[in-house]
Structure 1
Amino acid sequence: MATSTYTTLRRASVPALFLCAAAVLTACGDERPGATGAPGAPGAPISRDDGTAPSSGASPYVEPGVIDGAPHNRENNAYRRPGEMSVSGHMDAQAEVARMEPVLKRLWKAEKWDPDSVRAQLADKLGYEDELKVQEVYSTYEGDQDVTPEGAMIGLSVGEDSCVTAYVDKTGYGAEANGRFPETGCIRPPIGH
């Protein structure tokens, strides 16, 4: 019995159809660079910390939440993220922030932001001793030389897992409760490693 060309093509097309369907079904949920959709939906552009989406042509290897798109950014900057705090540690650190801010404000208004003056005032007014660390602001490279800006960086160990990280310089002052940094304790680590 002779088979027609139509029947032969039809028999050959069935396996090809199944292969195509399998390829389409296994690709579901894959993110595609440049795809549009609701934020967080499969195929949607990955958001950045600053609220903007990556430009078209962004690398498919960009980590979520990474501003510059560098692969392994999260691992490379792990030393800059503070550790977790217990609820009681956070409450204790917040109480110290409230105590420290008025002293930092007075220092800032008096233009006394050198580390020795800051350390003396915090020890005298608040009774901080061994748990307090005060140091110069990290130097930066400007032009062809290292420059150390005026100011002080402050780290106060409040408990086993909590700190107050603060600063005072000619631009202002601030203090926040946070966990310990892996390499620098309660002082915010420098950029670069």
Structure 2
Amino acid sequence: MYNLQQRANNVFSFAITVGGVVLAVIAIISAITGYESANHRLLKVDAANLKVVTRRYGPDDTDYRSSKSEFARLSFDIDADFTPVFNWNTKQIFVTVVAEYEKKNFGRNHVVLWDKIITSKDKAHLKLRNVRNKYAMIDISQQWNLMLITDFSYENANLTLLWDITPYVGVLQSGQSNIGAKLVLPSASIKK
């Protein structure tokens, strides 16, 4: 007949199959119901705190190997409520602020300036003032003033609030704010 090892294997296989079916049902329900949208009211750049600085190390202490590397330093305000996004299957929300600009040789560029992980519904309402960029806003040429002198279309950048919802079970979902902020990088004569 059956020995103890075969019986244990059958019980274990049945338990794994039932667990997999339950997780698949949860993933399907989450995909069908989806998530509510976040209430994002404000993403505003403080133009008075927008500077281009020249130094070797960025705000994230990365060595860019040239003391002439130019970084854009800025501060911005965020008012976004991610409370409606949290439901029974939300593990965390990864929020980022991205600067986007165009350049002839490299097309559209995206630079992540700031990020935050929200793990609970209690901390889901972001009302932040004068947030400094956490990561370096640096162009691949490492010079903003060169871009500004050669082509004035490069000086404009758009800030956008993006988020990724990580569920306990199921597919990652993402969203984007339709309320962005525009910024104009100052010329080299204004840099400090």
Structure (1 or 2) with the greater helix fraction = 1
Structure (1 or 2) with the greater strand fraction = 2
Above 0.5 in TM-score?
no
Taking structure 1 as the reference length, the TM-score comes to: 0.29
The answer to which structure, 1 or 2, has the higher relative contact order (CA under 8 A, 6+ apart) is 2
Taking structure 2 as the reference length, the TM-score comes to: 0.29
